[in-house]
A and B are shown apart, each in its own frame.
Chain A
Amino acid sequence: MLTMNNITKVFRTDLVQTYALREFNLNVGEGEFVAVTGPSGSGKTTFLNIAGLLETFDGGSYSLDGEDVSHLNDKARSRFRNEKIGFIFQSFNLIPDLNLFDNVDVPLRYRGFNSSERKRRIEQSLEMVGLANRMKHLPSQLSGGQQQRVAIARALAGEPRFLLADEPTGNLDTKMAHSVMDLLKDINEKGTTIVMVTHDPSLAKQAKRNIYVRDGRVSELHEVAAFAEEESQTTAKASNG
């Protein structure tokens, strides 16, 4: 489904160049639910941006759903994102001036579906996240968890083969976070491949597979356990202190 070989991403300024990803290799199979963890600045978000075709990269090759996407132009990347990738963002990224129906409609319009097809998909996806009865509400009238559900509905309405989630529970309380995770697991059970970037080891554990990123590289699996340990100690200290 997703194959990255020796991906390199360099951010350059006049004075320095910083490697965000260095010889990054990853293979995600069809139907997997992969959690990508790692400390701040490790390159998780850069990986997510490149995986989601939101950013280009400087070296290596990347194929998604069997297609080499390394050299697509901006228009083709936009179309690819629209048709094959669903995005879930940490801060939901709903458009505040649009009601839920119109928010879910945004990617479908770019897809060029006719209005009846769009309506069917919007209703179906909002139904799936349990918000079909609030279609005319604005995002500001919903709780954080509900907003993330709308974002998930928006991501799913186009029936993508690949779902990218960027800290999907980062702005939610524990109860809502679990509810969103359960939803993601359900979606994965139905066959959608999910790659989720998260800081939270407990959430990462719920994925079928964990990837640990450090200094722009994928590290060995035992480091994942070490990271989980490190993070849980940090959390414990924070709660004791």
Chain B
Amino acid sequence: MWEIGPILRALMRNKVGAVLIAIQMAVTMCIIVNAVHIIVERKALMARESGIDEANSFYITSTGFAPDFNEQVTVQEDLDMLRRLPGVVSAIQINAIPISGGGWSQGLQTEPGAEHDGAYTAVYMVDEQGLKALDVELIAGENFSPTDVRWRERSQSDWPDQTIITKAMAENLFPDLPYQEVVGKTVYINDIEPIIIKGIIDKLQAPWIGWDILENSMLSPEKTLFSSSRYLIRTEPGRMNELMPQVEEMLAESNKGRIIRDPTSMPDTRERSYRSHGAMIKMLTVVMVVLTLVTALGIVGLASFSVNRRRKQIGTRRALGASQGAILRYFMVENFLISSVGVLLGAALTVGLNIYLVQAFSLARIEWYYLPLGMAILWMVGQLAVLGPAKRAADIAPATATRTV
């Protein structure tokens, strides 16, 4: 009833077109499945939460230039003003912005001495309002008190004796301990400087989105005197856009001895940081759509050619008793067989390309279910593409069998 044997034998005698379509399907499947895999990976990266209240946070830079510019006083006055501003939940001076691409990192180790290995971490210098401004949750230990916070000069290389670290960093440093027990432990920075872990926060990503240890972050209780300050401002929900120009103007007006610049929202920062990922996703999506279309058109072309070439044969089949459904089925089965060769070859190519990508670009391995999914989609594309020509074939009149032309 399905005529699989005769169809296969007929295909074997006219293989060129079918083989070309099968190869096209194989290449399409290989590229589509790997592209989907890359897209899913990239989307997963883009979906990672930084840990801060991105939707309602922005930052702005203040750079002093006047000879009498007093940064310590300015920072204190700025923070007082910002924290009093209606709509602001909290504001801090901070040395780096999560997922922004630029920041500080340091190594922490559990034993003193250069001979011991450490774990790298991003460093955020914040005051006692750091947790509130960053919207991170203290899950063990204590927050910094105002007296813990010190001023740091540009040339200063030593560190405060307390820190708050992320849970991921705690587990990195002390893999055998529950994170709660890490509170109070001493770790060493610059090989030998002891720091006591005062608290653990749930999550705070580093500035570098491509970092393998993106979740390793530490808070250092410091405010900086680097002549240029960055303020991170967290607003009440929905008020960020309204407050950004207001803050910019207020800070600019309050002190003429400095420049206020680059007010940037966290959503913009995320967009900029992940722009290449977004572009890659768009490009791969376009490639997938175009390839699928080209393949589908190739199938339509081959099937249409095949129908036109076999008009008399189809008429004869109809005369011999084939119903329209039988003719439709013939072409659908024929396409299914060609597609089957294509997708099986495609599965092998997909795995091969993935192995290469894993080795060359450290991509993750494709999940097993991508293959049957890709095969099913390509089969479906094939069946949909052949449907039109197959319907035209089914419409060929049985009387075509007796026509001489």
Residue ID in chain B nearest A46 by CB atoms: B399
Contact indicator B322/A110 (Cβ below 8 Å): yes
Contact indicator A81/B321 (Cβ below 8 Å): yes
Residue ID in chain A nearest B400 by CB atoms: A54
Does A212 reach chain B (CB closer than 8 Å)?
Answer: no
Report the separation of the CA atoms of residues A141 and B250 in the bound assembly, to the nearest whole angstrom: 95
Q: Contacts of B399 on A, CB cut-off 8 Å?
A: 49, 54-55
Question: Min CB distance, A206 to chain B, in Å?
Answer: 22
- Selected interface stretch from A98-106, A179-187, A219-227: A98-106
Q: Contacts of A93 on B, CB cut-off 8 Å?
A: 312-313, 316, 319, 401
- Name the contact of B402 in the complex, choosing from A49, A75, A78 (C-beta under 8 A): A49
Does A109 reach chain B (CB closer than 8 Å)?
Answer: yes
Q: Contacts of B316 on A, CB cut-off 8 Å?
A: 89, 93, 95
Question: Min CB distance, B325 to chain A, in Å?
Answer: 8
Contact indicator B13/A97 (Cβ below 8 Å): yes
Q: Contacts of B318 on A, CB cut-off 8 Å?
A: 54, 78
Does B154 reach chain A (CB closer than 8 Å)?
Answer: no
Which residues between 383 and 405 of chain B lie within 8 Å of chain A, taking CB atoms? 397-399, 401-402, 404
Does B254 reach chain A (CB closer than 8 Å)?
Answer: no
Q: Contacts of A83 on B, CB cut-off 8 Å?
A: 321
Contact indicator A98/B10 (Cβ below 8 Å): yes
- Name the contact of A110 in the complex, choosing from B312, B320, B402 (C-beta under 8 A): B320
Contact indicator B319/A81 (Cβ below 8 Å): yes
Question: Min CB distance, A68 to chain B, in Å?
Answer: 19
- Name the contact of A48 in the complex, choosing from B321, B322, B323, B402 (C-beta under 8 A): B402
- Name the contact of A91 in the complex, choosing from B317, B322, B325, B404 (C-beta under 8 A): B404
With A93-B312, A112-B1 known to touch, is A54 a contact of B402 (CB < 8 Å)?
yes
- Name the contact of A109 in the complex, choosing from B1, B313, B402 (C-beta under 8 A): B1
Contact indicator B319/A52 (Cβ below 8 Å): yes
Does A82 reach chain B (CB closer than 8 Å)?
Answer: yes
How many residues in A have their beta carbons less than 8 Å from beta carbons of B?
Answer: 36
Fill in one digit per residue for A70-92: 1 if any B CB lies within 8 Å of its CB, else 0.
00001100110111000101110
Fill in one digit per residue for A147-161: 1 if any B CB lies within 8 Å of its CB, else 0.
000000010001000
Q: Contacts of B5 on A, CB cut-off 8 Å?
A: 102
Which residues between 355 and 405 of chain B lie within 8 Å of chain A, taking CB atoms? 397-399, 401-402, 404
Q: Contacts of B156 on A, CB cut-off 8 Å?
A: none
- Name the contact of A106 in the complex, choosing from B13, B14, B320, B398 (C-beta under 8 A): B320
Contact indicator B321/A79 (Cβ below 8 Å): yes
Does A205 reach chain B (CB closer than 8 Å)?
Answer: no
Does B67 reach chain A (CB closer than 8 Å)?
Answer: no
Report the separation of the CA atoms of residues A15 and B208 in the bound assembly, to the nearest whole angstrom: 78
With A98-B9, A105-B6, A110-B326 known to touch, is A82 a contact of B321 (CB < 8 Å)?
yes
Report the separation of the CA atoms of residues A142 and B87 in the bound assembly, to the nearest whole angstrom: 93
Question: Min CB distance, B1 to chain A, in Å?
Answer: 7
Residue ID in chain A nearest B398 by CB atoms: A54
Question: Min CB distance, B273 to chain A, in Å?
Answer: 59
Does B3 reach chain A (CB closer than 8 Å)?
Answer: yes
Which residues between 104 and 148 of chain A lie within 8 Å of chain B, taking CB atoms? 105-107, 109-112, 138
Q: A49-B402, A95-B313 are in contact. List 11 more A-B contacts (CB 8 A).
A: A74-B323, A78-B398, A87-B320, A93-B313, A102-B6, A106-B317, A107-B320, A109-B3, A110-B320, A110-B322, A154-B320
- Mark A residues whose CB is within 8 Å of B: 45, 48-49, 52-55, 74-75, 78-79, 81-83, 87, 89-91, 93, 95-99, 102, 105-107, 109-112, 138, 154, 158, 166
